[in-house]
Amino acid sequence: MRAVASVLHLDLDAFFAAVEQRDKPSLRGKPVVVGGVGGRGVVATASYEARQFGVRSAMTTREARSRCPHAAFLTGRFHAYRETSEQVMGLLRSVSPLIEPLSLDEAFVDLAAADREAHPLLGDLTVADVTAFGTHLRERVVEVTGGLTASVGIATSKFVAKVASDLRKPDGLVVVPPGSERDLLRPMSASVIPGVGPATAERLRRVGVHTVEELETLSEDELVRLLGKASGHWLHALARAQDDRPVVAEREAKSVSVEGTYDHDLTDRDLMERLLTRQAGDVAQRLRRSGLSGRTVTIKVRLHDFTTLNRSTTLSSPTDAAATIARLARALLADLDTSGGVRLLGVGVSGLADWVQEDLFGEPEEEQDELPEVEVPHHSRRSWSPGMDVVHVEMGRGWVWGSGRGVVTVRFETAQTPAGPVRSYAEDDPQLSPWRPPTPDDE
């Protein structure tokens, strides 16, 4: 725990849904649910308007529909989420070189490492200083994202900063003055401590512990007996707000990964294997160029219903060999049920070492300069998923409002227009096509 409140946690509010409301003016102020719309789909994010009807993340979409039938149910547009995330992370990086992204919409920022000449509001990091800075930063988030809000917590540790950012969501700022951390935590449920999931919470309940205050009454020895050594120490410290974990810059730099998202759900196993093989080649090339190798190979698979699966396997020594990475990636895929379709595939290598173990695997390979391109075929039948971006030859840009029985209905509007008109077309109308943002590859 630091002497000053210099750890900032920022969390964008209802991120996916907020991006959809920004880009679809007719949905502003209305319930929006982003997630899988198919039979096994789950809710990824619900707008605050939908939350009023009891819709929550990770609920099945079926349940969400029964609670809020008039909500707009949309599949995700990851290109838009990634682009918006980059705007926010870029803003945070301009504040401090020490930022630790936790996901697309969440990051820690170490204010003690910030350039205070460039950010005079930070002053001496007093409570008044960081409060003024947090207010300014939240205004900047609205500016750079074109209207999204963030909630911010500022405290003496990562744990308390993250708890604080959640207290006044959405669009809130909470600064926890140094010395008041334990008073803040005491009345809270013990499950506020990271790692206290349902199983741990149940064990604590059995010994009469529900709140952090009750947790404080257990000695370290008692907690170790109850939960094991590592968890016992952890809970004993965090219940007292003792958290010295540093903000670690650029977590993603600890791994090298490549991923692709696809317009249509992939179902062909052979195609998926070829894509993974190609991605493994790209990862290996990047590792070699940086003189790195790694022990853990991970694949990331997002299913059509929005579930994201990560599977990994660890080698006894590091590799930078494309063939090895590809073989392990394909083996990991073989254990997954992808029959419902896949919309994202990725390969990564982590556990990096700055040295290369040349030949332990007995798989020496030629340096491949040219990796084979893998063509992703378009479905013969075009699929129009709700929410996706489209462009019509005469009407311009819009998004799919719904489709079925050979008809697709489009609302023509973007973030820069007022709420726009709705038109219906035949599903195979040649004047209508999916819209993708220009990528550097298109140059």
Binding interface with Mg ion (CB under 5 A): 11-12, 15, 105
Neighbouring CB atoms inside 10 A of 99's CB total 25
Return d(Cα 289, Cα 88) in angstroms, integer.
29
Shortest Å, Cβ 11 to Mg ion: 4
List residues bridging with 335 in a β-sheet: none
Return d(Cα 312, Cα 328) in angstroms, integer.
9
359 assigned ligand-binding residue: no
Choosing from 20, 49, 100, 106, the catalytic residue is 106
Q: Which residue's CB is nearer to Mg ion, number 44 or number 347?
A: 44
Q: Which residue's CB is nearer to Mg ion, number 106 or number 413?
A: 106
Is residue 106 annotated as a catalytic residue, yes or no?
A: yes
First to last CA, the chain: 49
Q: Which residue's CB is nearer to Mg ion, number 47 or number 277?
A: 47
The pair of three-digit structure tokens given for residue 268, joined into one six-digit string: 């062909």
Q: Which residue's CB is nearer to Mg ion, number 165 or number 385?
A: 165
Query: CA dist 155 to 184, 234, 350, Å?
Result: 11, 19, 31
Return d(Cα 315, Cα 324) in angstroms, integer.
10
DSSP output for 40-51: T-BEEEE-HHHH
Q: Which residue's CB is nearer to Mg ion, number 12 or number 130?
A: 12
The pair of three-digit structure tokens given for residue 342, joined into one six-digit string: 């896949």
User: Please, where are the H alpha helices in 291-407?
Assistant: 322-334
Shortest Å, Cβ 18 to Mg ion: 9
- What 3-state DSSP class applies to 373? coil
Q: Which residue's CB is nearer to Mg ion, number 172 or number 420?
A: 172
429 assigned ligand-binding residue: no
Peptide bond into 170 cis (omega under 30): yes
Shortest Å, Cβ 84 to Mg ion: 12
DSSP output for 217-242: TS-HHHHHHHH-HHHHHHHHHHTTT-
Shortest Å, Cβ 45 to Mg ion: 8
Shortest Å, Cβ 40 to Mg ion: 24
Return d(Cα 141, Cα 131) in angstroms, integer.
15
**For the chain, what's the residue count?**
443
Angle ∠(46,202,197) on CA atoms, nearest 5: 40
Shortest Å, Cβ 80 to Mg ion: 15
Please state the residue numbers annotated as binding site for Mg(2+): 11, 105
Which residues are annotated as catalytic?
Answer: 106
Annotated binding-site residue numbers: 11, 105
